């Protein structure tokens, strides 16, 4: 590489140091390819966020009481049941839902959207933008699904949605909206889009997986019908998510996952079984509930709700610092749906001229102890289109995503590492192994608990 690295420094005001909730792994050290260890710079929060200290402590407190939920007579079962049902109330408050709205615990956002897709009344028209994450893009199938192209200006999305809804048949309608892009972090104009949907009598489901860890959500203020979210992005990585919203479609639908807990009664009718399904939400929670995951998710939501001012200030300061630093890296091209000045949460995706995204990510990890994501981020259409706008030659990008585990030193480190990579190239030799870039001679050892 012969690109010159600018020597000019970006002058910034000192970062505020708000007190934000602590996360597990804050003191984690990872090995480098040169044999040293460094503190881990986790810049991959958009994929899975670390566990809050408060969540870890709450799970530890619950585990001795862990028992069957709803159907156990033992005292521990009664405790677990109360914990599980309390979590529903917490989730309802967290998104500002009505008392009549239901909370169905699922595995994650993907599970929630697939559940809702199976519960749609026959003939429902579904309208969505084509840059959705695959979790929101793929569950809707059939002739009544209309995918519209995301415009280059956020305000134009309102007119595009209005036109799309005018072309849908009379009958039930559902609009699928992303709250914040997992590729660029940009926040969609949800309130304006919901107003258009309402004018056509449509319901709205909001994919809040990326927005919920960063900012408050209010179903009533946004005027949406359903919110879906994931615990593993909300600092509660214990396998729980939620579908929150209107109960009527869910009450009318048979469960798409059947088994214990989903039934009120099963009788033998000779050549077939007679089944009476349980009430909502239980009919959509077949099997033994994930009480630990639900409790972890509830504690994370309560913790964030108490600390929103500090959380938002922390992330905005770091995002400003990150974007200013990345602007000094030669050949780095940031991706954007709606323009560089559009409101966004702490996510930035980019390419670096002449260096494959997978090699950038591998070098940041092996040489600097930095965790980022490379690829198309389960949003292939969006990423491919944005890369085309940026003039990229490949179909992969690098994504940096910040959160409560991010510190100013992490931002400084990744910017310095990228500048060094552009100026000097990788410090060691890399090759593609099983589809991923990796150091040819990698001396890094896995932790002891993985040793055979």
Pairing mode, strands 173-178 and 203-207: parallel
Sign of the dihedral through C-alpha 417, 379, 401, 433? negative
Annotated catalytic residue 51: no
Cis amide prior to 65 (ω within 30 degrees): no
- For residue 429 the two structure tokens come to 């030799």
Contacts of residue 49, defined as CB under 8 A and 6 or more positions apart, other chains included, come to: 23, 213, 232, 233, 234, 235, 237, 403, 404, 405
- For residue 132 the two structure tokens come to 């959705």
Give the helix/strand (H/E) hosting 176. Answer: strand 173-178
Answer whether 402's CB lies under 8 Å from 45's CB. yes
Instruction: For residue 332, give the 3-state DSSP assignment.
Output: strand
Answer whether 451's CB lies under 8 Å from 440's CB. no
Give the helix/strand (H/E) hosting 439. Answer: strand 436-439
- CA 290/CA 132 separation, integer angstroms: 28
In angstroms, the first-to-last Cα distance of the chain is 41
- Active site residue: 378, 408, 423, 427, which one? 378
Measured CA to CA in angstroms, residue 29 lies from 33, 132, 383, 400, 445 at distances of 13, 35, 32, 19, 12
Residue 264 is classified by DSSP as: E
Q: Which residue has the tokens 């049902």?
A: 85
435: buried, middle or exposed (CB in 10 Å: 19+, 13-18, 0-12)? exposed
For 3, phi then psi, to 5°, come to -65, 135
- CA 448/CA 452 separation, integer angstroms: 9
Which residue, among 104, 148, 110, 158, has the nearest Cα to 126 in the 3D structure? 148
- CA 416/CA 436 separation, integer angstroms: 23
* Active-site annotation, residues: 378
């Amino acid at each position: 590489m012969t690109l010159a690295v600018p020597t000019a420094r970006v002058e910034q005001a000192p970062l505020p140091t708000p007190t934000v909730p602590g996360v597990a792994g804050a003191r984690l050290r990872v090995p480098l390819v040169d044999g040293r260890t460094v503190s881990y710079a986790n810049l991959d929060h958009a994929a899975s966020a670390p566990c809050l200290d408060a969540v870890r402590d709450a799970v530890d407190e619950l585990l001795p009481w862990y028992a069957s939920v709803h159907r156990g007579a033992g005292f521990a079962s009664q405790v677990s049941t109360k914990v599980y049902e309390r979590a529903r109330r917490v989730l309802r408050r967290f998104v500002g839902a009505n008392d009549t709205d239901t909370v169905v615990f699922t595995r994650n956002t993907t599970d929630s959207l697939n559940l809702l897709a199976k519960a749609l009344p026959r003939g429902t028209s579904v309208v969505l933008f084509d840059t959705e994450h695959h979790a929101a893009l793929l569950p809707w199938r059939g002739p009544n699904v209309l995918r519209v192209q995301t415009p280059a200006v956020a305000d134009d999305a309102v007119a595009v949605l209005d036109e799309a809804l005018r072309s849908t048949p009379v009958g039930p309608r559902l609009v699928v909206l992303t709250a914040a892009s997992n590729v660029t972090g940009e926040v969609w104009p949800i309130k304006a889009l919901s107003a258009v949907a309402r004018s056509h009598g449509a319901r709205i489901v909001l994919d809040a997986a990326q927005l919920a860890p960063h900012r408050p959500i209010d179903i009533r203020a946004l005027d949406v019908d359903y919110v879906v979210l994931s615990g593993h992005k909300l600092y509660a990585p214990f396998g729980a998510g939620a579908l929150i919203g209107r109960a009527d479609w869910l009450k009318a639908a048979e469960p798409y996952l059947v088994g214990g807990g989903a039934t009120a009664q099963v009788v033998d009718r000779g050549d077939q079984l007679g089944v009476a399904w349980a009430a909502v939400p239980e009919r959509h929670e077949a099997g033994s509930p994930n009480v630990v995951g639900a409790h972890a998710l509830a504690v994370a939501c309560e913790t964030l709700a108490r600390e929103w001012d500090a959380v938002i200030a922390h992330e905005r300061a770091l995002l400003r610092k990150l974007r200013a630093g990345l602007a000094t890296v030669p050949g780095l091209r940031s991706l954007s749906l709606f323009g560089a000045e559009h409101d966004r949460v702490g996510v930035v995706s980019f390419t670096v001229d002449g260096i494959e995204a997978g090699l950038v990510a591998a070098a940041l990890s092996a040489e600097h102890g930095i965790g980022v994501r490379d690829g198309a981020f389960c949003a292939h259409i969006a990423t491919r289109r944005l890369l085309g706008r940026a003039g990229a030659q490949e179909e992969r990008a690098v994504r940096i995503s910040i959160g409560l585990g991010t510190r100013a030193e992490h931002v400084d480190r990744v910017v310095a590492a990228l500048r060094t990579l552009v100026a000097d190239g990788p410090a060691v030799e890399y090759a593609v192994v099983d589809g991923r870039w990796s150091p040819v001679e990698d001396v890094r050892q896995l932790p002891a608990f993985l040793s055979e």
